């Protein structure tokens, strides 16, 4: 077994470190970083542009390049989120929550540095799990039936209902609003259009990137009108020394990074979830574990590094369901499956055995790629941070232009630009009303999955709710939920009666 | 009266001359090949393979443009509403001819508003079952399912997708009472069918091939009219299921290049000849074969006939089996 793993690693390295392997990996991660930083242009646009080139490449080289773009955008996406509040990719929207406040306090350099480290550690842990546990991960997917998915997602939503810290009622309102936005489009089971108002463009739902960019970035631009105070940018701040976190922060980040990596590794391996959900769950978990949950949303380091580590770990393990079961977790993964398809390689559990050079070469190239990203990104931090010193009258119009181009490029759709504008206005409204955005995003991402699995479970059980408690995984989740809810209620009653007594 | 007539003739003449002029210096600009689906799927890959080869032949760049949305309706709408001068083309798959049956508010006529160029390829499909049931052949499955009405489920790549239609048609023809469980895409259904949560389903060869070879799924039959090269031992549904009312059954998909209605015939023919030529290249044949697709290369007239025929068949099935959206 150990010999086998060593042999696989060596085989993988020989492919990944070969001149052509390195070359395509470098192209991938550089392009990925760039497209990730430009708001709205995600991995999908870059990958589909390069897709025709892959006809002329060997499948391993093609996949190494496209994979580099895929996880490279996750790195780059955080940069735009932290510095400009513009999530370049769906999973990096979480980085806006605490990364942007840090940048506003002049600590953008530290935020970027820690993000890069967290991403690297998360990615590396994901890869280690891939190497040692790949066969186990494959079988995990079969253990989860629709009822289990439903209960776990519901558990996630309930556990994070208090994610915003402030008013629970406001948080619940925003979760439900998020779920409502998430169900816009054609119903999976009957195909009936819901909340589409007869607009064909809404048949496939609201794009997460358009929603996030509107809520965060555009709302920010609107809010800044009239109070243009650029971040102070002294030469001093750009020194390497000032990009390092304090000893305390560094130590405090270790646990969140490891927890994030754990969450990401598991969620990435579950078919169809991927990095986006992993980063939201990690954010919620960090808030739960934090001794100072009030700091979240105001520049808490844990709220930044946990999710960043998580989505990078998930990006790696997400290749397991994609390559072995043919499930594209994301649109980008769908293109990578397409690359396999045109080279006559069918996804399946046997791919690992039949194409060892491809599989292990790809995995080892992930690690090389992550290393390259680390090397590329650390020296670039100083340059990126300088963006903040650009006067707003130049910076904001160019951001708006980039957003328009980027959003248009995803689906070649002008309608998506209008979606961004609409959510910019909504985002500004929530700012004025003090409504929290994390529950909305979580509801938007998880709501449709919750519904899909619930209805699938009910169809299969022919309307019996029993499945939710008789299946072990689902049953355990339901039990935890019941205990958590009961605990919350008891605490509420007790604290109220205490209050009454003191009056 | 005669003035009107003269005017009419004049307009007709000008239009005709205009058309001829367009045809003579066609293509005079970049050609857009619109794919109404997301990148990465069968239709998208077909379009990109063709665009790659068409560009040097036509002397103008052929750009693939993905316009996904509303099951292909958004992008197809862009094609049919473009100038019919051959500079905007589309690549659609078989679901194109299901649209009218499924959607009441379709913004175009999938037959009359479209000028087909050629059917490029036909994609083979397979009928697979979960390995958790004690059945290995199609007759065994049908008999097993007959004894358990309402207890087994077939999966599809989505409500109103062609895999849904074929599943419903199969169950209806064999007289089986089965539950339909739609997924978002074929891949998403794989864990559930492997684990035995759902029991039967239609799939394309590239999507299920790896799982069949690895015995994660059991191959009941080839869904088309002929056996497949890859698994020559597997019978077709019509062969194995003839006694169960499936003698007429055949399922498969295709990809076709279309233009807006009104595109001059000589442009259609020229495009057809170029594409047919590309489809004779052994390397291209090989590429498509590895995707489970066989070259079709039907002429514009043949393709139009196939569109009409399949639309009539499927619209009838959709109504009879009560498959609908909304």
- Ordered by start, the domain boundaries in chain B are 28-121+255-320, 124-244
Question: Can you tell me the distance from the alpha carbon of B93 to that of B91, in angstroms, rounded to the nearest whole number?
Answer: 7
pLDDT for B148 equals 94
pLDDT for B60 equals 92
Checking if the pLDDT of A39 tops 80, the result is: no
Query: Averaged over B13-27, what is the pLDDT?
Result: 57
Query: Averaged over A30-41, what is the pLDDT?
Result: 78
Confidence of residue B19 (pLDDT cuts 50, 70, 90): very low
Residue A405 belongs to a domain: yes
Checking if the pLDDT of B303 tops 90, the result is: yes
Confidence of residue B18 (pLDDT cuts 50, 70, 90): very low
Question: Can you tell me the distance from the alpha carbon of A291 to that of A1, in angstroms, rounded to the nearest whole number?
Answer: 43
CB contact under 8 Å between A334 and B325, yes or no, is: no
Chain B residue whose CA is closest to A461: B151
Query: Averaged over B70-79, what is the pLDDT?
Result: 89
| Minimal CA separation from B15 to chain A, in Å | 32
Chain B residue whose CA is closest to A185: B70
Contacts of B287 in chain A (CB under 8 A): 55, 342
CB contact under 8 Å between A331 and B107, yes or no, is: no
Report pLDDT digits (tens) over B130-140. 999 999 999 99
Residue A271 in contact with partner chain B when CB distance is under 8 A: yes
Confidence of residue A268 (pLDDT cuts 50, 70, 90): confident
Query: Averaged over B130-158, what is the pLDDT?
Result: 94
How many residues does this entry show for chain B? 326
Query: Averaged over A177-198, what is the pLDDT?
Result: 85
Residue A484 belongs to a domain: no
Residue A151 token pair = 């209960």
Checking if the pLDDT of B119 tops 90, the result is: yes
CB contact under 8 Å between A346 and B70, yes or no, is: no
Query: First-to-last CA distance in chain A?
Result: 68
Residue B52 in contact with partner chain A when CB distance is under 8 A: yes
Q: Which of A346, A349, A412 sits opposite B209 (nearest CB)?
A: A346
Question: Can you tell me the distance from the alpha carbon of A219 to that of A451, in angstroms, rounded to the nearest whole number?
Answer: 29
Look at B205 and A498; give whichever has higher pLDDT. B205
Q: What percent of chain B has pLDDT over 90?
A: 66
Residue A47 in contact with partner chain B when CB distance is under 8 A: yes
Question: Can you tell me the distance from the alpha carbon of A358 to that of A341, in angstroms, rounded to the nearest whole number?
Answer: 14
Checking if the pLDDT of A471 tops 80, the result is: yes
Domain hosting residue A97, numbered range? 2-470
Question: Can you tell me the distance from the alpha carbon of A220 to that of A399, in angstroms, rounded to the nearest whole number?
Answer: 11
Confidence of residue B21 (pLDDT cuts 50, 70, 90): very low
CB contact under 8 Å between A190 and B188, yes or no, is: no
Question: Can you tell me the distance from the alpha carbon of B188 to that of B173, in angstroms, rounded to the nearest whole number?
Answer: 26
pLDDT for A139 equals 73
Question: Can you tell me the distance from the alpha carbon of A265 to that of A256, in angstroms, rounded to the nearest whole number?
Answer: 14
Residue A379 in contact with partner chain B when CB distance is under 8 A: no
CB contact under 8 Å between A412 and B185, yes or no, is: no
| Minimal CA separation from A340 to chain B, in Å | 9
Q: Phi and psi dihedrals of B123, rounded to 5?
A: -105, 130
Would you give the DSSP letter of residue A437?
A: S
Look at B24 and A466; give whichever has higher pLDDT. A466
Burial zone of A273 (CB within 10 Å; 0-12 exposed, 13-18 middle, 19+ buried):
buried
**Helices within chain B (DSSP H only):** 2-24, 42-58, 73-80, 99-102, 138-146, 162-173, 190-195, 205-213, 237-240, 265-278, 282-290, 300-320
Taking all residues of chain B, what is their mean pLDDT, rounded to a whole number?
Answer: 89
Note whether A124 and A342 are within 8 A (CB).
Answer: no
pLDDT for B133 equals 94
Confidence of residue B30 (pLDDT cuts 50, 70, 90): very high
Checking if the pLDDT of B14 tops 80, the result is: no
Residue A481 belongs to a domain: no
Query: In the 3-class helix/strand/coil scheme, how is B93-126 assigned residue by residue?
Result: EHHHHHHHHHCCCCCCCCCCCEEEEEEEEEEEEE
pLDDT for B79 equals 95
CB contact under 8 Å between B38 and A334, yes or no, is: yes
User: Closest Cα to residue B125, out of B255, B250, B223, B265?
Assistant: B223
Classify B247 as helix, strand or coil.
coil
Q: Which of A28-37, A241-250, A395-404, B17-26 has the lowest mean pLDDT?
A: B17-26
pLDDT for B147 equals 95
Report pLDDT digits (tens) over A188-247. 777 788 888 888 888 888 888 788 888 888 888 888 776 655 555 555 555 566 677 888
| Minimal CA separation from A411 to chain B, in Å | 6
Residue A53 in contact with partner chain B when CB distance is under 8 A: no
Q: Which residue has the tokens 């280690």?
A: A128
Check for a shared fold between B28-121+255-320 and B124-244. Answer: yes
Residue B66 in contact with partner chain A when CB distance is under 8 A: yes
Taking all residues of chain A, what is their mean pLDDT, rounded to a whole number?
Answer: 82
Residue A357 belongs to a domain: yes
Q: How many CB pairs under 8 A join A and B?
A: 174
Residue A371 belongs to a domain: yes
How many residues does this entry show for chain A? 503
Right CATH for B124-244 from 1.10.150.120, 3.40.640.10, 3.40.190.10, 3.40.50.300: 3.40.190.10
Question: Can you tell me the distance from the alpha carbon of A493 to that of B189, in angstroms, rounded to the nearest whole number?
Answer: 45
Checking if the pLDDT of A91 tops 90, the result is: no
Confidence of residue B159 (pLDDT cuts 50, 70, 90): confident
Q: At CA B44, angle to CA B42 and CA B48, rounded to 5?
A: 115
Task: Give chain A's domain count.
Answer: 1
CATH number of B28-121+255-320: 3.40.190.150
CB contact under 8 Å between B67 and A413, yes or no, is: yes
């Amino acid at each position: 077994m150990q010999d086998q793993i060593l042999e696989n690693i060596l085989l993988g390295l020989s492919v990944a470190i070969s001149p052509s392997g390195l070359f395509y990996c470098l192209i991938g991660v550089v392009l990925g970083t760039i497209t990730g930083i430009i708001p709205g242009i995600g991995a999908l646009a870059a990958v589909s542009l390069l897709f025709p080139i892959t006809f002329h490449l060997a499948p391993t080289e093609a996949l190494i390049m496209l994979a580099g773009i895929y996880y490279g955008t996750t790195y780059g996406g955080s940069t735009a989120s932290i510095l400009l509040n513009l999530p370049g990719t769906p999973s990096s929207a979480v980085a806006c929550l605490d990364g942007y406040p840090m940048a506003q306090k002049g600590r953008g350099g530290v935020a970027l540095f820690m993000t890069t480290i967290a991403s690297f550690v998360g990615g590396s842990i994901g890869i280690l799990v891939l190497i040692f546990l790949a066969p186990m991960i494959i079988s995990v997917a079969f253990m989860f039936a629709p009822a289990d998915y439903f209960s776990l997602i519901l558990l996630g939503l309930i556990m994070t209902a208090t994610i915003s810290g402030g008013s629970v009622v406001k948080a619940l309102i925003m979760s439900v609003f998020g779920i409502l936005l998430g169900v816009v489009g054609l119903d999976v089971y009957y195909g009936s259009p819901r909340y589409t108002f007869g607009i064909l463009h809404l048949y496939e739902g609201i794009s997460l990137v358009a929603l996030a960019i509107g809520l965060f970035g555009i709302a920010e631009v609107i809010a800044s009108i009239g109070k243009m105070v650029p971040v102070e940018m002294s030469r001093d701040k750009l020194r390497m020394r000032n990009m390092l976190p304090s000893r305390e922060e560094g130590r405090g980040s270790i646990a969140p990074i490891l927890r994030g990596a754990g969450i990401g590794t598991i969620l990435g391996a579950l078919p169809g979830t991927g990095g986006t959900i992993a980063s939201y769950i990690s954010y919620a978990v960090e808030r739960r574990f934090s001794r100072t949950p009030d700091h979240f949303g105001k520049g808490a380091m844990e709220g930044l590094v946990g999710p960043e580590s998580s989505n990078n770990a998930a990006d790696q393990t997400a290749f397991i369901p994609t390559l072995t079961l043919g499930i594209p977790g994301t649109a980008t993964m769908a293109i990578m499956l397409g690359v396999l398809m045109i080279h006559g390689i069918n996804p399946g559990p046997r791919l690992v055995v039949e194409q060892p050079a491809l599989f292990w070469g790809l995995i080892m190239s992930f690690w090389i790629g992550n290393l390259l990203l680390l090397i590329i990104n650390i020296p670039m931090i100083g340059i990126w941070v300088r963006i903040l010193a650009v006067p707003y009258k130049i910076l904001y119009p160019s951001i708006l232009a980039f957003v328009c181009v980027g959003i248009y490029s995803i689906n070649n759709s002008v309608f998506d630009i209008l979606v961004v504008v609409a959510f910019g206005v909504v985002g500004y409204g929530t700012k004025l009303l003090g409504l929290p955005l994390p529950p909305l995003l979580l509801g938007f991402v998880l709501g449709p999955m919750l519904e899909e699995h619930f209805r699938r479970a009910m169809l299969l059980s022919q309307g019996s709710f029993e499945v939710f408690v008789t299946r072990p995984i689902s049953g355990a989740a339901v039990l935890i939920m019941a205990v958590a809810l009961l605990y919350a209620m008891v605490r509420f009653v007790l604290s109220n009666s205490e209050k009454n007594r003191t009056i | 009266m005669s003035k009107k007539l003269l005017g009419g003739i004049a307009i007709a003449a000008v239009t005709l001359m205009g058309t001829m002029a367009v045809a003579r210096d066609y293509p005079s600009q970049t050609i857009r090949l619109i794919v109404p689906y997301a990148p990465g799927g069968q239709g998208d890959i077909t379009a990109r393979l063709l665009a790659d080869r068409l560009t040097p032949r036509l002397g103008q760049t052929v750009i693939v443009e993905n316009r996904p949305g509303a099951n292909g309706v958004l992008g197809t709408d862009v094609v049919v509403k473009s100038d019919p001068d051959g500079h905007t083309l589309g690549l659609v798959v078989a679901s194109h001819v299901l649209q009218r049956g499924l959607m009441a508010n379709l913004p175009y006529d999938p037959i009359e508003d479209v000028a087909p160029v050629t059917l490029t390829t036909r994609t083979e499909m397979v009928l697979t079952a979960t390995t958790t049931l004690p059945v290995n052949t199609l007759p065994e499955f049908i008999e097993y399912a007959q004894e358990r009405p309402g207890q087994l489920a077939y999966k599809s790549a989505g409500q109103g997708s062609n895999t849904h239609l074929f599943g419903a048609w199969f169950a209806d023809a064999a007289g089986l009472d089965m539950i339909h469980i739609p997924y978002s895409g074929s891949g998403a259904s794989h864990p559930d069918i492997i684990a035995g949560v759902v029991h039967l389903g239609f799939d394309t060869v590239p999507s299920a091939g790896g799982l069949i070879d690895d015995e994660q799924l059991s191959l009941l039959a080839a869904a088309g009219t002929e056996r497949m090269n890859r698994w020559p031992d597997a019978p077709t549904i019509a062969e194995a299921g003839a006694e169960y009312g499936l003698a007429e059954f055949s399922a498969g998909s295709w990809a076709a290049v279309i233009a807006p209605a009104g595109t001059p015939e000589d442009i259609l023919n020229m495009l057809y000849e170029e594409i047919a030529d590309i489809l004779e290249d052994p390397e291209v044949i090989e590429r498509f074969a590895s995707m489970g697709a066989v070259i079709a290369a039907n002429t514009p007239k043949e393709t139009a006939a196939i569109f009409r025929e399949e639309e009539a068949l499927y619209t009838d099935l959709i109504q009879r089996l009560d498959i609908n959206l909304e």
